[in-house]
Amino acid sequence: MAKKFKAVLRHSIASEQRRMAIALLSGGLDSTVSVAMALDKGIKIPLALTFDYGQKSAPAEIRSGRKLCALWKIPHRIIKLDWFKDIAKGSALINPSKQIPQLKESDLNNPAKLKRTAQAVWVPNRNGLFINVAATFAEAMKADYIITGFNREEAITFPDNSSRFIKATNQALSLGTINKVKVVSFTINMDKAQIYKKGCDLGVSTGATWSCYENGDRECGKCESCLRLARASSH
């Protein structure tokens, strides 16, 4: 019995050591903490991807991604999607002539307001595309997972951040990849305050992250993403 137990234990440890994941790293709080949680669980990350799809915050996101990957010693690659700016002109995240909505913290409790804000910054099938690009790398590199920073707070207004989206995507990936790559998010059942606290517990410095929809020397403090971070850090 003891020999059998030891054999099972060795197999379990070996299985844990084989787990690998490609990380989708925007440099924001959610993706950063999700990656930190993966590393804490012993998952190996041979590559992190940051996408430049013409978004206003791209330079800051890339700087943050590089900084974080240097700290973690994870290879970092920037994927440029120049054509996005030609087809996503309706999004305030991309179109320089459209202003990113500025909110007050009280607006975060206004579903109608948040629905309008989500529509203003929506980028067509963005997360779906990012995941499929990452899945190509994951299959080629024999990685098991794609790490995302999806969470239950943003899933209320952004359905492509939800557990339903992950489940549906994984069904497609089970047919589209030989090794049945899966999307995971270690923050999926957490709100921003819980994510912030978990990041603090894991030693994640928000000074190394970038959660703002804008680009600049400092975060604007007025967009929805900035306000969610500020509210989370105050709890």
Structure tokens at 71: 């700290």
Outline where DSSP puts E strands in the chain.
20-24, 44-52, 76-80, 145-147, 182-184
Over range 86-102, report the average pLDDT.
Answer: 95
pLDDT tens figures, 128-174: 999 999 999 999 999 999 999 999 999 999 999 999 999 999 999 99
Residue 9 one-letter amino acid: L
Q: Which helix (H) or strand (E) holds 69?
A: helix 58-72
Residues 212 and 55: their CA atoms lie apart, in Å, by 11
At 3 the pLDDT is 47
Q: What is the pLDDT of residue 205?
A: 83
DSSP classification of residue 114 = H
Instruction: Report the pLDDT averaged over residues 190-213.
Output: 94
Per-residue tokens: 140: 């080629």
Q: Residue 146: in which H helix or E strand, if any?
A: strand 145-147
What residue spans define the domains of the chain?
Answer: 18-234
What's the pLDDT score for residue 49?
98
Spatial separation of the C-alpha atoms in residues 212 and 58, rounded to whole Å: 10
Kindly tell me if the per-residue pLDDT of 18 is higher than 80: no
| 73 band by pLDDT with thresholds 50, 70 and 90 | very high
Backbone torsions φ then ψ of 50, nearest 5 degrees: -120, 130
Tens-place pLDDT, residues 22-64: 999 999 999 999 999 999 999 999 999 999 999 999 999 999 9
Q: Quick one: 18-234 is in which CATH superfamily?
A: HUPs (3.40.50.620)
Q: What is the pLDDT of residue 235?
A: 76
Number of CB atoms found within 10 A of residue 187's CB: 29
Which tens digits make up the pLDDT trace of 174-192? 999 999 999 999 999 999 9
pLDDT at 110 over 90: yes
Q: What separation in angstroms does the CA of 53 have from each of 29, 50, 194, 212?
A: 19, 10, 29, 16
Is residue 108 over pLDDT 90?
A: yes
What span, in angstroms and rounded, lies between the C-alpha atoms of 234 and 223?
17
Mean pLDDT for the chain overall: 92
